[in-house]
Structure formats: structure tokens, C-alpha cells
């Protein structure tokens, strides 16, 4: 699917679900990985993650489009368009949009990866588990402000 097809899709969903036209630009943004889409308040444009479409299909992506259109229409009507606003929550439930998008499989795999490093405070012995390597000289113990030393764990593949 290209940006033209997405534009038509968003315009169609806007008319069907909201009864209002979408008069701005909708595009795919392949850099969006942690979020399904975003709405820009200054330009009123919408970006959608193509990764969500590939991973979860048209049905879930349409829910993301409805979510972004809730921001769009409420903002233009000068009503509560933020996630915490009652107007937003009510409209989202009414049109059947999603509150959250699914986690992409490659991000889920990274999240489930085992801890590879342990930081140990040399003063009080407090331990901090980490998946990524970091420079312990830039940090201090959160409990006693002591120095930290890094230990690589055995399950480290490299």
C-alpha cells in the first residue's frame, strides 16, 4: 500500500465513522516503531506506521487510523483531544478505535531478551540488572551514591 491509497483510506474512514471529511495529509512513516501513528497539531497531518499494517493487518491499522482521527476531529472542533480527556475517550469508544497498538514482533523479542549485565555497588552491594552495556563511571548507586562496577553474566552470547 502506498501513501495515495492510505490517503483515500483515511478519508473514507473519516467520512464513515465520523461523518466529517479529512482535509489534510495522511502518510506512512517507516520510522514509527513504538507507536502506531501520530497526529500533528500544527499541520493537522497524520502519520501511520507501515510496520503495524504488515504485522497486524488492515483491521488493527484501521483502529489506529480511527485513534488518530479522534485527535484530528476533536482538535479542529476545539474539544478535548488529549488521551486523558473525556471527549477523546468517549469518541474513541464510539467509533471503535484502539487505545493502544500492538507491540511489533521484533520489539517484543528484544524486550524479552535476558539480562546480559549486572551493575553492583562497591559500597552497599546493591545490584542493578541491565540488558545493554553502559559506562558505570557515569552513574552512581541509587541507594547510597556509591561507585558501580559492571559484571558480564554467563548467558551473554558474545
Q: List residues with catalytic annotation.
A: 68
Backbone angles phi, psi at 11, to 5 degrees: -60, -40
CB atoms near residue 82 (< 10 Å): 11
Residue length of the chain: 158
Calculate the alpha carbon distances from 106 to 61, 113, 117, 125 in Å.
18, 11, 21, 34
Q: Which residue in this structure is represented by grid cell 466529517?
A: 20
CA–CA dist 1, 42 (Å, integer):
26
Q: Distance between CA atoms of 26 and 87, rounded to whole angstroms?
A: 23
Amino acid at each position: 500500500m502506498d501513501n495515495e491509497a492510505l490517503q483515500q483510506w483515511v478519508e473514507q474512514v473519516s467520512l464513515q465513522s465520523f461523518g466529517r471529511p479529512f482535509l489534510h495529509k495522511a502518510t506512512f512513516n517507516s520510522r514509527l516503531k513504538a507507536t502506531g501513528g501520530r497526529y500533528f497539531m500544527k499541520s493537522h497531518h497524520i502519520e501511520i506506521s507501515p510496520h503495524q499494517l504488515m504485522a497486524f493487518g488492515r483491521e488493527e491499522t484501521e483502529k489506529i487510523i480511527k485513534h488518530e482521527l479522534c485527535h484530528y476531529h476533536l482538535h479542529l472542533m476545539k474539544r478535548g483531544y488529549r488521551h486523558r480527556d473525556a471527549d477523546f475517550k468517549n469518541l474513541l469508544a464510539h467509533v471503535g478505535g484502539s487505545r493502544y497498538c500492538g507491540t511489533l514482533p521484533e520489539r517484543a523479542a528484544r524486550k524479552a531478551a535476558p539480562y546480559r549485565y549486572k551493575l553492583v555497588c562497591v559500597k552497599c552491594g546493591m545490584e542493578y540488572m541491565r540488558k545493554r552495556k553502559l559506562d558505570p563511571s557515569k552513574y552512581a548507586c541509587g541507594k547510597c551514591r556509591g561507585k558501580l562496577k559492571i559484571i558480564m553474566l554467563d548467558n551473554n552470547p558474545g
